[in-house]
Amino acid sequence: GQNIDQPTEMTATEGAIVQINCTYQTSGFNGLFWYQQHAGEAPTFLSYNVLDGLEEKGRFSSFLSRSKGYSYLLLKELQMKDSASYLCAVMDSNYQLIWGAGTKLIIKP
Amino acid sequence: GAVVSQHPSWVICKSGTSVKIECRSLDFQATTMFWYRQFPKQSLMLMATSNEGSKATYEQGVEKDKFLINHASLTLSTLTVTSAHPEDSSFYICSARASEPYEQYFGPGTRLTVT
pLDDT at A24: 97
At B72, is the pLDDT very low, low, confident or very high (cuts 50, 70, 90)?
Answer: confident
Please, what is the end-to-end C-alpha distance for chain A in angstroms?
Answer: 40
Q: What is the pLDDT of residues A90-105, one digit of tens each?
A: 998 887 888 999 999 9
Query: Is the distance from CB of A37 to CB of A87 less than 8 angstroms?
Result: yes
Angle at B79 between CA B76 and CA B82, to 5 degrees: 150
Amino acid (1-letter code) at residue A98: I
For residue B101, the model assigns a pLDDT of: 64
Tell me, what's the pLDDT at B1?
Answer: 65
Most confident of A62-71, B48-57, B68-77, B94-103: A62-71
Tell me what pLDDT residue B36 has: 95
Contacts A–B by Cβ distance under 8 A: 40
pLDDT of residue B43: 83
Distance CA B83, CA A41 (A): 26
Cβ–Cβ contacts within 10 Å for residue B33, how many? 29
B35 at interface of A, judged by CB pairs closer than 8 A: no
The residue type found at B4 is V
Task: Inform me whether the C-beta atom of residue B110 falls under 8 Å from chain A C-beta atoms.
Answer: no
Question: Is residue B18 over pLDDT 90?
Answer: yes
Q: Which of the two residues, B8 and B31, has the higher pLDDT score?
A: B8
Give one DSSP letter per residue of A12-37, joined into a string.
Answer: EETTS-EEEEEEEE-SS-S-EEEEEE
Query: In DSSP terms, which residues pair with A33 in a beta bridge?
Result: A48, A89
Reported confidence tier of residue B42, pLDDT bands at 50, 70, 90: confident
Task: Chain B: give the shortest CA distance to residue A101, in Å.
Answer: 5
- Cβ-based interface (< 8 Å): residues of A facing B: 30-31, 33, 35, 40-45, 48, 87, 91, 95-97, 99-102
How far apart CA B49 and CA B1 sit, in angstroms, is 22
Record: contact A45-B104, CB cut-off 8 A? yes
Do B102 and A44 make contact, defined as CB atoms within 8 angstroms? no
Mark yes or no for CB contact B44/A41 under 8 Å.
no
pLDDT tens per residue, range A5-57: 999 999 999 999 999 999 999 989 999 999 999 998 999 989 999 999 999 99
Q: pLDDT band at residue B99, thresholds of 50, 70 and 90?
A: confident
Residue A8 Ramachandran class (φ > 0 left, ψ -120 to 50 alpha, else beta):
alpha
Chain A hits for B91, CB-CB cut-off 8 Å, are 40
Is the pLDDT assigned to residue B35 strictly greater than 90?
A: yes
Strand, coil or helix: what is A76? coil
Give the torsion sign (CA, A92, A94, A42, B42). negative
Kindly state the average pLDDT of the residues B63-90: 94
CA distance B48 to B36: 7
Query: Which residue in chain A is spatially nearest to B109 when comparing CA positions?
Result: A42
DSSP character string of chain B: ---EEEE-SEEEE-TT--EEEEEEESSS--SEEEEEEE-TTS--EEEEEEETTSPPEEPTT--TTTEEEEEEETTEEEEEE-S--GGG-EEEEEEEE-SSS---EE---EEEEE-
CA distance A106 to chain B (A): 14
- Predicted local confidence at residue B100, as pLDDT: 67
Percent of chain B at pLDDT > 90 equals 71
Report how far apart, in Å, the C-alpha atoms of A67 and of each of A23, A95, B36 are. Answer: 11, 19, 30
CA dihedral B100, B102, B108, B111 (to 10 degrees): 120
